[in-house]
Amino acid sequence: MCGDGDGALALFRELLPDQARVQGPDHPDTLTVRHSLASWTGFCGDAAGALALFRELLPDRVRVQGPDHLGTLNTHHNLAYLTRVCGDAAGALALYRQLLLDQARVQGPDHPDALATRRWIEALEDAANRAGS
């Protein structure tokens, strides 16, 4: 990243309609542009907007690419992460738990992505336990 997040966000917003028109709304490249648009929305400070975009994207990823596609898993991770950032720790924990099951099945339980997800789960469980004490 070169530091112009707002510029990147504007470019992805401009690209998406053309991408969808030329290759179709379900083309993997269109889904990738939607993912990038959601990511840049979050990078530019709009976590709630990014969360909404990832919520819209995930069912399309699952439908088009399947639940085991790495792009789908990445979208699922970003959805869990932004759910936590937006203040819903319990919702994020549920999303991370489901993600871990999928990652362990697809990538193996010791894959770096699965290990990172386990760390998020442990951190959220620890915070919940401390809050309940």
Sign, Cα dihedral of 91, 94, 96, 98: negative
Cα separation, 28 vs 107, in Å, equals 21
Summarised one tens digit per residue, pLDDT across range 32-74 is: 999 999 999 999 999 999 999 999 999 999 999 999 999 999 9
Is residue 1 scored above 70 in pLDDT?
Answer: no
Q: Which residues contact 14 (CB under 8 A, 6 or more apart)?
A: none
Average pLDDT of the chain, as a whole number = 95
Question: Angle 59-72-11 (CA atoms, 0-180°, nearest 5)?
Answer: 85
The top-level CATH class assigned to 5-132 is: mainly alpha
